[in-house]
Amino acid sequence: MEIANNSLKENSVNAEIAFFGGSFTAIDRSYMLELLEATVPYIDKFKGIRISTRPDCIDEEILILLKKYKVTSIELGAQSMDDDVLCANNRGHSSKDVYTASKLIKSYGFSLGLQMMTGLYKSSFDKDIATAEKFIEIKPDTVRIYPTIVMKNTALERYLYLGEYDVMDIDLAVELCAQLLKMFYENNISVIRLGLHHSESLDKDRVAGPYHPAFKELCESKILFDKLIKLLNLSNLKNEYAVRVSPSCVSKLVGNNKSNIKRLNELGYNIKIIQDKSIENMELVLDN
């Protein structure tokens, strides 16, 4: 169990104490209480406590207990809303558990987060889109999206070598996750993580899968490129044009290794990017 963001700096009022890396409410109860008790002397220096857990490890008793210790945010490792996918991956819970736990969590006033994994064994592009649609129905405050990475000595590695499982390549994973991002953005749901954090174990034990250290930026770059192409198709401009974007989106519009610029050049367009603080994040304006 990893304890994150628990420094005691004076400005920690904007930070959270976080218990991640496992199913917090599924660990030994005495150990869970010991961890929560350890936060008591410091909790007023933070805006709250965030935990992650399983959808089938939430009930009213545990929520009352978490409320007592000033837990504010609960993230559920839903992973998929397709029961066949959940069963095939031995998740140990059903989609109904996700609905039930989410409703309870929201009724007790906690911030709800849902985590999903794309490209799981027995899943598909369409099934992952359907999971996002069901997440949107639930209306969580936050979402995390993790493309599936195959690690050494796992069932997925065995399925991969037996030819029973194909990982998504990076291009398809970016296409899928860009669409998921757009769906969540349009429904005012914050995506607080997209892609795995870099770690030594990830480098050492990764076998296959669409890992990239800046995966979210690749997806946002895809979204901006698609928006620009749509605008170009509606405009009368032929070759040279200027596009205004937020300063924070310049690198995303340019693309990894200038990939978007190169694609635009191949299509016969010369682009001039203008930084404009008045343009909202992930939006762009094509100058006539």
- Class of the CATH-defined domain 220-286: alpha beta
For residue range 24-72, what is the model confidence (pLDDT) as tens digits?
A: 999 999 999 999 999 999 999 999 999 999 999 999 999 999 999 999 9
6 — pLDDT class (breaks 50, 70, 90): very low
Neighbours of 106 (CB within 10 A): 16
Separation of alpha carbons 253 and 226, rounded Å: 10
Residue 238 has pLDDT above 70, yes or no: no
| 90 pLDDT higher than 90 | yes
Residues of the chain with CATH 3.40.1260.20: 220-286
The strand pairing partners of 76, in sequence order, are 53, 114
How do residues 113-128 score in pLDDT, each as one tens digit? 999 999 999 999 999 9
For the chain, what percent of residues have pLDDT higher than 70?
A: 94
Which neighbouring-strand residues pair with 74? 51, 112
pLDDT tier, 12 (very low <50, low <70, confident <90, very high otherwise) = low
Task: Calculate ∠ Cα 52-281-192, nearest 5°.
Answer: 5
9-13, 77-81, 230-234, 277-281 — which one is most confidently predicted on average? 77-81
Q: Which residues in the chain are classed under CATH 3.20.20.70?
A: 2-213
CATH code: domain 2-213 is 3.20.20.70
The answer, yes or no, to whether residue 224 has pLDDT greater than 50, is yes
pTM: 0.90
Report yes or no: 19 and 52 within 8 Å, Cβ to Cβ.
yes
288 — pLDDT class (breaks 50, 70, 90): low
**Per-residue pLDDT at 287:** 82
